[in-house]
């Protein structure tokens, strides 16, 4: 297990360990887990997962079934560069934000649960969460990431995830601008 | 040189295996045999370390590739269906849809040798010999336009080959190029210039797996819902589900065994990379399999069968349970030359289950 690193490095069944004096440049670390940039060159050995968060409820698999009224928005945040310092939630597509509660004993590189209490008026919402880690890194929007990394850079998408909550409580995975 | 490195490595592996067990007297394990270490130690590195003695030429490689790889990767390594493309794509890395292949993207030839020898053909790893691997590697260089058709690749000339994109990679630089940009104080109010608009919906990309009821896969059950609280959706849903269950029961007749069919559905995961079933199933690498039980072999519309399979069907072979079981036990042996590149199902139980599942699918 390699906390904070991409899942591809978490080898489940170790058959042998060999130590080399050079990079092996195996297929997974060349053809696959490299990040193609807009100039046609690629980053390699990009192991750390930057700060990310996602709302787990409501979400497409967890629609709101109880109608308008008190609502707890909850989700998970994590960072490969340390502890989660803060998670903000927006229910208006990112125009205004409020700080969520972090629960438990927040550990570096560990999943951190957050909760945000509100009253839902039963109207549509565009909800998203934004993690900030102890280094001060703020989880970016997809557009901000694309501006740097282009559109063919897939392994380290740590952008904010937007859910579109409908008046009937169903939730859809969308992008906004 | 490479000998002594292997030796050093061998003893390192040996001590890893041996030390804990023997030092603590648990009586577990034994030292690895030198032959075992040689067999495990298949890594080939960019500087040629680990390359075994051997050689192979483009034409031999083309033959081996046609026999062992082309069902998935195409005769010219162009990639069939959604299997990986291995050739072409030069100059495409800045395109909106880049084609990343050995010729256009891979930095080192050692990776080709290592991966083919270690991991391909998919599902039948390590059945390609050393000389065949040299030959296939030579053929892949040829199909990428990097050598002529009279080229022979060997341990001796291997490191003379440089792939075009060798300088196309640089170590992770996010700490310098991204972290400062993304480490400014987060905006809390009036962050947008204009009201947000939905620009993309995953539902339209059709990438979200669905459950049979059309909901996103894994949707939590409506635990709090009763008919009285929410008369809309749930009431409409319930009869539909019952109806579906009845239809399925009709189709299965008296033989339906839900547990067996469910087990068969699990076994079918081994087939799903190549065969689609259910509503709207298409032909992909293999033909779609709705209604296959009881059908004449080689007769799914629009699928290009191998000659032997088409001929078996023309000769009247019908996929009854016995024929299916024999085919699935040993696809190659049952019908030599057919193009299902699948090792088969060793367990009779798995075969029975998957046939029950296919039978329950209906046409």
Note whether A175 contacts B200, CB cutoff 8 Å.
Answer: yes
Question: The tokens of A36 are what?
Answer: 């193609």
DSSP string, B8-30: HHHHHHHHHHHHHHHHTT-----
Of B47, B98, B119, the CB nearest to A36: B98
Which of B84, B187, B194, B233 to probe by mutation at the A interface, max A CB count within 10 Å? B187
Question: The tokens of B257 are what?
Answer: 């065994």
Alpha-carbon distance B105 to B164, whole Å? 8
Question: The tokens of A144 are what?
Answer: 């901000």
In CATH, the number for domain B41-160 is 1.10.760.10
Q: Is pLDDT larger for residue B124 or for residue B114? A: B114
Alpha-carbon distance A46 to A6, whole Å? 8
How many Cβ pairs closer than 8 A exist between chain A and B? 178
Note whether B184 contacts A152, CB cutoff 8 Å.
Answer: no
Question: What pLDDT was estimated at residue B77?
Answer: 80
Search chain A and give the residue with CA nearest B49. Answer: A24
Question: What pLDDT was estimated at residue B210?
Answer: 79
Residue B252: phi and psi, rounded to 5, are: -80, -20
- Hey, where are the domains in chain B? 41-160, 251-361
Question: The tokens of B69 are what?
Answer: 């790889």
ipTM: 0.94
Note whether B182 contacts A18, CB cutoff 8 Å.
Answer: no
Note whether B169 contacts A40, CB cutoff 8 Å.
Answer: no
Asked if B41-160 and B251-361 have one fold, the answer is: yes
Note whether A173 contacts B111, CB cutoff 8 Å.
Answer: no
Alpha-carbon distance A139 to A158, whole Å? 7
Strands B169-171 and A42-44, bridge-based pairing: parallel
* Mean pLDDT, residues A39-60 taken together: 97
- CB half-sphere exposure, B103, CA atoms < 13 A: 21
Contacts of B111 in chain A (CB under 8 A): 25-27, 30-31
| Distance from the A168 Cα atom to the nearest Cα atom in chain B, whole angstroms | 11
Full-prediction pTM beyond 0.80? no
Note whether A48 contacts B195, CB cutoff 8 Å.
Answer: no
Alpha-carbon distance A110 to A102, whole Å? 12
B38-86 residue pLDDT tens: 888 899 999 999 999 999 999 999 999 999 999 889 887 877 777 788 9
Alpha-carbon distance B38 to B24, whole Å? 27
Q: With an 8 Å Cβ cutoff, is B7 touching chain A?
A: no
Alpha-carbon distance A101 to A109, whole Å? 18
Q: Helix (H) and strand (E) counts for chain A? A: 2, 11
Classify B46 as helix, strand or coil. Answer: coil
Q: Does B21 have pLDDT greater than 80?
A: no
- CATH architecture of the region B251-361: Orthogonal Bundle (1.10)
- CATH architecture of the region A52-174: Sandwich (2.60)
3-state secondary structure B306-342: CHHHHHHHHCCCECCHHHHHHHHHCHHHHCCCCCCCC
B315-338 residue pLDDT tens: 999 999 999 999 999 998 899 888
Note whether A16 contacts B13, CB cutoff 8 Å.
Answer: yes
Cα A3 vs. chain centroid, distance in angstroms?
15
Cα B88 vs. chain centroid, distance in angstroms?
21
Q: With an 8 Å Cβ cutoff, is B12 touching chain A?
A: yes
A23-38 residue pLDDT tens: 999 999 999 999 999 9
């Amino acid at each position: 297990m390699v906390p904070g690193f991409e899942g591809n490095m978490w080898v489940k069944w170790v058959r042998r360990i060999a130590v080399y004096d050079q990079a092996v440049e195996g297929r997974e670390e060349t053809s696959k887990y490299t990040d193609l940039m807009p100039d046609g060159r690629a980053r390699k050995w990009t192991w750390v997962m930057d700060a990310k968060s996602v709302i787990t409820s409501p979400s497409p698999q967890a629609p709101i079934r109880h109608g308008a009224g008190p609502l707890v928005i909850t989700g998970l945040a994590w960072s490969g560069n340390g502890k989660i310092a803060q998670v903000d939630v927006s229910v208006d597509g990112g125009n205004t934000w409020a700080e969520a509660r972090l629960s438990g004993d927040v550990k570096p590189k560990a999943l951190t649960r957050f909760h945000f209490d509100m009253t839902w008026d039963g109207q549509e919402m565009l909800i998203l969460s934004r993690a900030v880690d102890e280094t001060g890194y703020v989880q970016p929007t997809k557009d901000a990431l694309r501006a740097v990394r282009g559109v063919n850079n897939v392994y380290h998408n740590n952008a904010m995830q937007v859910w579109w909550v409908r008046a009937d409580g169903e939730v859809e995975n969308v992008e906004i601008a | 040189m490479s000998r002594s490195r292997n030796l050093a490595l061998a003893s390192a592996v040996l001590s890893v295996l041996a030390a804990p067990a023997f030092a603590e007297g648990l009586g577990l394990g034994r030292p690895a045999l030198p032959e075992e270490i040689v067999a495990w130690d298949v890594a080939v590195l960019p500087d040629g370390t680990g390359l075994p003695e051997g050689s192979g030429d483009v034409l031999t490689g083309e033959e081996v590739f046609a026999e062992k790889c082309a069902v998935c990767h195409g005769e010219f390594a162009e990639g069939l269906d959604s299997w990986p493309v291995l050739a072409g794509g030069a100059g495409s890395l800045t395109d909106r849809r880049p084609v990343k292949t050995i010729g256009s993207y891979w930095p080192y030839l050692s990776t080709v040798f290592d991966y083919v020898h270690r991991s391909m053909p998919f599902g039948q790893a390590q059945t390609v010999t050393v000389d065949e691997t040299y030959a296939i590697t030579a053929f892949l260089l040829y199909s990428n336009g990097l050598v002529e058709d009279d080229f022979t690749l060997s341990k001796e000339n291997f490191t003379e080959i440089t792939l075009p994109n060798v300088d196309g990679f640089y170590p992770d630089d996010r700490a310098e190029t991204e972290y400062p940009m993304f480490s400014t104080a987060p905006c809390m109010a009036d962050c947008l210039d204009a009201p947000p608009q939905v620009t993309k919906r995953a539902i339209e990309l059709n990438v979200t797996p669905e459950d049979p009821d059309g909901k996103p896969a894994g949707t939590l059950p409506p635990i709090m819902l009763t008919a009285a609280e929410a008369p809309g959706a749930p009431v409409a849903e319930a009869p539909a589900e019952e109806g579906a269950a009845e239809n399925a029961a009709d189709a299965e007749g008296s033989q339906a065994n839900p547990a067996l069919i469910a087990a068969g559905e699990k076994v079918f995961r081994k087939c799903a990379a190549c065969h689609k079933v259910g509503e709207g199933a298409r032909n992909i690498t293999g033909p779609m399999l709705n209604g296959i039980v009881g059908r004449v072999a080689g007769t799914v519309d629009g699928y290009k069968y191998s000659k032997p399979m088409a001929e078996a069907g023309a000769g009247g072979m019908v996929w009854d349970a016995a024929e299916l079981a024999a085919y699935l036990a040993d696809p190659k042996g049952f019908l030599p030359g057919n193009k299902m590149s699948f090792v088969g199902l060793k367990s009779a139980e798995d075969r029975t289950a998957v046939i029950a599942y296919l039978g329950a699918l209906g046409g």
